Amino acid sequence: MLRNEGWKVNHKRVHRLWRQEGLSIERKPKKPRSKGDEKNACHVREAKVVNEAWSVDFVCDQTEDGRKLKILTVVDDWTREALAVRVARKMGHRDVAKVLGRLIGQRGAPSFIRSDNGSEFVAGGLKMTMDEFGVETAQVAPASPWQNGRNERLNGTLRYELLDREVFTTLMEARVLHEQWKKRYNEVRPHGALNFMTPSAFAKHERLRGAVYEGDVCSDSH
């Protein structure tokens, strides 16, 4: 506009003066539109067998010096096994993809992975990685944590039994204690929803039952 009026100006100087006068416009980044749906809620879209559905979420804490701890938890919806309790200072969708990819390599791919609408879970990069494994990413409705209830239950137990009782001095200490807690949760602690079996014992029972069932089907068909 200045040039159109005949002024000879340097664009850098004009830009500096423009900002000093508070004329710049702050544009807030657009948030990705939620793709969540209540049809993906755990009480609607229920798992029926081992390794059919995993639920993921984050819980946060801190070390003694006030630095943040971000904890990714992954649970098998049917067996209630804590598949992963990954502790780091920060985690994005690439870190989530690495943890899930490692689990898929160890256990095989689930049919779908349930999550909320956090940026780490709705990122296109994570979806592309899961698509490569043939795994659907299923987000629950926005602001509806109860729809991801299997993981909410796990995180609540984690907070009650560990986070609210321990002061972590270092990241390494936090990782060690979380792994110890995961082992106890899976192998020692009886779970009310599993007729007071441990998640590991229930998972073993279900896998054996599935193998027997498949054997019966094969025998009948033979």
Q: Helix, strand, or coil here: 207?
A: helix
Torsion angles phi and psi, residue 124, rounded to 5: -60, -35
126 - beta bridge partners? none
Q: In this predicted structure, what is the pLDDT of residue 18?
A: 81
Q: In this predicted structure, what is the pLDDT of residue 21?
A: 81
Torsion angles phi and psi, residue 7, rounded to 5: -80, 145
Q: Report the distance separating Cα 152 and Cα 73, nearest Å.
A: 10
- What domains are defined for the chain? 38-201 (3.30.420.10)
Instruction: Please give the helix or strand (H or E) that residue 57 lies within, else none.
Output: strand 53-62
Q: Report the distance separating Cα 174 and Cα 86, nearest Å.
A: 10
Report yes or no: 106 and 93 within 8 Å, Cβ to Cβ. Answer: no
Q: What is the pLDDT along the chain (222 residues), one digit of tens a residue?
A: 788 788 888 888 888 888 788 776 666 565 555 568 899 999 999 999 999 999 999 999 999 999 999 999 999 999 999 999 999 999 999 999 999 999 999 999 999 999 999 999 998 889 999 999 999 999 999 999 999 999 999 999 999 999 999 999 999 999 999 999 999 999 999 999 999 999 999 999 999 987 655 555 444 554
Q: In this predicted structure, what is the pLDDT of residue 15?
A: 81
Q: In this predicted structure, what is the pLDDT of residue 32?
A: 52
Torsion angles phi and psi, residue 5, rounded to 5: -90, 0
* HEC-encoded secondary structure of 9-45: CCHHHHHHHHHHCCCCCCCCCCCCCCCCCHHHCCCCC
Beta-carbon contacts of 126 under 8 Å, excluding residues fewer than 6 positions away, are: 93, 94, 96, 97, 120, 137
Q: Report the distance separating Cα 170 and Cα 79, nearest Å.
A: 32
Question: pTM for this structure?
Answer: 0.80
Q: In this predicted structure, what is the pLDDT of residue 217?
A: 47
